[in-house]
Structure 1
Amino acid sequence: MTDLRGYDELPRSWQERFAFFDRYGLPNSSPESREAYRALSFGSKMRLNANVLGFLFGPIYFFVKGMWRKGLVLLLLAIGLAAIVIGAGAPDLIDRAASFVVPALAMTTANYAYYLHVVKGSQSWNIFEGLGRR
C-alpha cells in the first residue's frame, strides 16, 4: 500500500485506501486481495473497511463528500425504515436495533463509494455499487 501517486491532493488515509482499492479491489474480492488484506495491521483493516464519520453522520457525510445520490438513498432508507418500525409498533429492542441499520450501511460502504466517486467518476444511486462478488 505504498504506491500513492495520483491521489496527492487527498489526505494520507484516503491515499492509502485508494491505493489498496486500485491494486487489489475490495478486500476478499480475489485471492490476492484476501492475502493483502490479511497482511495488514488491525488498524489498517479498520481504516480500510470502516468509516467512523460515515457512521456518525450517515447520509449527511455522503452529501458533504459529493455523493448526494447515495446520500439521498440512505436518507430515504432511514425514513422508510423508521416509518415501518413506528407503524408496526415494534418493541423498544427492535426500535433500537433498527436505528443502527442505516449508520452501519453508511459506515461500511462510504470508503469504497468515495473511491468510486473520486477515481472512477461514479454518479450511481446504488449504495452497494461494486460491493458484490466478482
Structure 2
Amino acid sequence: MSESTFEKNTKNTTGLCAKWLEKFDLLSKIGADEKFIFSAVKSPAFKELSFKEKQKVTFNWLAFIFGPFYYFSKRMWLKGSIILGSIWIFSGIFSLIETVLGLSLPSVLLWVIPYVICAQLANYDYYKFITKNEVMWPKMSKVFSNQKGIAGYLVGSFIFLLLTLGAFSSGVPECGSSEATDLVVQIAQDKLKVYGALANNLDMSVKSIRTTSTNEQTGSYQCAADMEVTGVNGTRSFPIKYTIELTDNGDEFYVNVFGL
C-alpha cells in the first residue's frame, strides 16, 4: 500500500495502522485541521467523498459502544472526562424531565444520544490529539484549563446525578421489581403454610405484571398479575392484585396481596 498523503506531511503518525492513516488523510482533505468536525462535514471536499469514506470520517463504532471509555483507551483523558461528566448531567436532566412531566421515556435514550455524539467526534478528536497535541476543545480550554477544573466538573456532575435521582425517588419498588415480586411470593407461601408440607413442594412465581395505578404524591403502586403455581399436578395460574406503599419512616415498603 502506498504511503498516504497525510503520513508524508506529519511526523506524529509513527505506529498508526493503515486504517487510521486513511482516516487521518480523509480528515486532512476535508479541512479538519482548521475546522471543527461539524463544520468540516459541510465542506465541498466532504461532499465529494464516497459513502464509505464519509463513514470513516464521521463515525466510530467502538466509541459508540464504549463512549468516554474509548477516549480513555486512546489516552484522551481530559476530553473523555468531560464527556463522562456530561453524560451524568444528561442522565440527571433526563430523570428531571420524566418526573416533572410524569413521563416514562425509553431508557435506551440515556445511552444512545450521548454515545452517538461520542461516535461522531472520536475520529476527529483522535486526529487532533495525534497531529496537534490537542487535549481539550479550543472553545472549552479556558473553562477547563487544568486538571483541577475537570476534576471539579466530574465531582459536580456526579453529585448532580445523585441528587436528581435521589430527590425524586419515592423509595418504593415498582410492580415488576424483584423486591416486590419476591415479597408477593413470600406472602403467598406464608398463607399456604397451613397446608403443611404440601406448600414446600410448590414452585410459585408472579407473571404478567401490570401497573394499574400510581399515586403521584406517595409514589405507591397498585398492581395486577397472575400467580403461577407449579406442583406435582402440573401448573395453574390465577389472578392476584397487590399494592406497594412506603412506610411513614421512609425506610421500608409494605406489600399487601389480594386474591390468594
Which category of TM-score, normalised to the shorter sequence, fits these structures?
Answer: 0.7 to 0.9
CA RMSD of aligned residues (A): 2.8
Identity of aligned residues (%): 26
Counterparts of 2:63 and 2:138, CA distance in 1: 13
Distance 1:75 1:25, change over 3 A: same
Identify unmatched segments of 5+ residues in structure 2: 141-260
Q: How many residues align?
A: 126
Alignment match, 1:132? none
Tell me if structure 1 keeps the 8 A contact 2:58–2:120.
yes
Counterparts of 2:63 and 2:94, CA distance in 1: 23
Counterparts of 1:63 and 1:84, CA distance in 2: 25
Alignment match, 1:86? 95
Look up the equivalent residue of 2:66 and give its one-letter code: F
Alignment match, 1:24? 30
Counterparts of 1:128 and 1:98, CA distance in 2: 26
Moved more, 67-76 or 7-16: 7-16
Look up the equivalent residue of 1:17 and give its one-letter code: K
3-state SS of paired residue (1:89): helix
1:52 deviation in Å? 0.8
TM-score (norm 1): 0.77
Question: Paired residue for 2:43, among 34, 40, 53?
Answer: 34
Question: Paired residue for 1:110, among 122, 127, 130?
Answer: 122
Distance 1:128 1:55, change over 3 A: farther
1:10 deviation in Å? 0.9
TM-score (norm 2): 0.43
Counterparts of 1:53 and 1:128, CA distance in 2: 26
Identify unmatched segments of 5+ residues in structure 1: 130-134
1:116 deviation in Å? 0.8
Look up the equivalent residue of 1:120 and give its one-letter code: K
The structure that has the greater radius of gyration is 2
Alignment match, 1:3? 5
Higher relative contact order (CA closer than 8 Å, sequence separation 6+): 1
